[in-house]
Amino acid sequence: MDALIVLKPDTKDVEEKLALVTTAGYEVRDMVRVKRLPVKRGKLDEMSGKGSDVIIFLFPLSPSQKFVIEKETGRAVMDFYDLVLRVFELHAVSQEAKVQIELARLRREMPYVMKEVSVNVKSEHPGFSGGGEYIIHSHASNIKSREAKLEKKLRLYEMRKESERDRRENVVSLAGYTNSGKSTLFNALSHANQAAKNEPFTTLQTKSRRLYIDGTTVVLNDTIGFISDLPVELIAPFRATMKDIVESDLILLVVDVSERVESIVKKMDLCLSTFREIGIDRDRTSIITVMNKTDLVDDVDERITEAGIKWPYTKVSALKREGIGELREIISRSLRGV
């Protein structure tokens, strides 16, 4: 499917967002820029004239903006939220991830669907406001009851996880920006076979494995990656997944050291601020940075100095299985508090 991409002058990380477009299965056919919203008539004509299957806005649109643009251009319209959700959907394997996504989609679509229903009902029932209102309300209550069912399911998953958790075990989570190599490192540490791909959001659901390090059992979690501009509403249904990170004794913050230093710094800042937002308590949880993909660059140390990394870190190549023994030692020392 061909996509027409729409950008604003302040749209950041365009390349990263285009990678999401490709991962979602669309081919970029053309790009247009808009200065501000609402989009002017002339621009809308230009968009519909481009003949793509879908128009993808790399920034958020309100339900009514999306509604108007769809009507005016006669094309399917997606905004950044829809795009991320589509990638999530394509990568969701577990039942829990599927429920999380359905809930996110429902919450997202509710105002849009209601707008559509109310416009249709009003045109189909002119002067019939009583019946029309009834149809609108019954739609709303159907959506609400589906939402309540999904929330209940998620709570059950959460409770089940809670009861399975063995309080005496040490929990170590691999966390970090999407595509930094968390799953590859998970496999290197645990000899698992977790999917690792050069695509954003390959992992959506926490995957756990038990490791034995120096005679102690450690539960290792592979978790969902972070990304800049991730819509906040999308994070809410993933709270159970985030909880896995919050409840860790140790977080291994995985960083792709082969990227531009500017990008390394920006992504690390985003990860650290996400840790704060999801409520990580630095008194309870230690964080060690793992500089990954060292096989790709020669100047790893210079990059680390330039990025101004002052806190504890270690260097590995998850793919080439280099630095893994040392990382195991660091995990062990950190859990023993030495």
- The binding site for ligand GTP (CB under 6 A) comprises 178-184, 196-203, 225, 292-293, 295-296, 317-319
Pairing assessment for the beta strands 2-7 and 54-57 based on DSSP bridges:
parallel
- Phi (first) and psi of residue 121, to 5 degrees: -60, -40
Pairing assessment for the beta strands 207-213 and 216-222 based on DSSP bridges:
antiparallel
Nearer to Mg ion, 57 or 201 (CB): 201
Nearer to ligand GTP, 55 or 185 (CB): 185
Query: Strand, coil or helix: what is 207?
Result: strand
Nearer to ligand GTP, 44 or 268 (CB): 268
CB closest to ligand GTP, residue no: 225
Nearer to ligand GTP, 72 or 295 (CB): 295
Query: Strand, coil or helix: what is 162?
Result: helix
Percentages (nearest 5) of helix, strand, coil residues in the chain: 50, 20, 30
Nearer to ligand GTP, 81 or 88 (CB): 88
The binder of Mg ion chosen from 23, 73, 173, 202 (CB under 5 A): 202
List all residues 6 or more positions away from 156 whose beta carbon is below 8 Å from its beta carbon. Answer: none
The binder of Mg ion chosen from 180, 203, 258, 334 (CB under 5 A): 203
89 binds, among Mg ion, ligand GTP, none (CB under 5 to 8 A by kind): none
The CA distance from 212 to 219, in Å, is 9
Nearer to ligand GTP, 293 or 303 (CB): 293
Query: What is the DSSP annotation of 273-306?
Result: HHHHHTT--TTT-EEEEEEE-GGG-S-HHHHHHH
317 binds, among Mg ion, ligand GTP, none (CB under 5 to 8 A by kind): ligand GTP
208 near Mg ion, judged by CB under 5 A: no
Size of the site for Mg ion (CB under 5 A): 4
**Which residues in 296-325 contact Mg ion (CB under 5 A)?**
none
What's the DSSP call for residue 166? -
Which candidate, 210, 185, 205, 193, places its Cα nearest to that of 317? 185
Radius of gyration, CA atoms only, the chain: 23
The binder of Mg ion chosen from 73, 173, 183, 187 (CB under 5 A): 183
Q: How far is the CB of 202 from Mg ion (least distance, A)?
A: 5
294 near Mg ion, judged by CB under 5 A: no
Among 25-33, 125-133, 196-204, 305-313, which window interacts with Mg ion (CB under 5 A)? 196-204
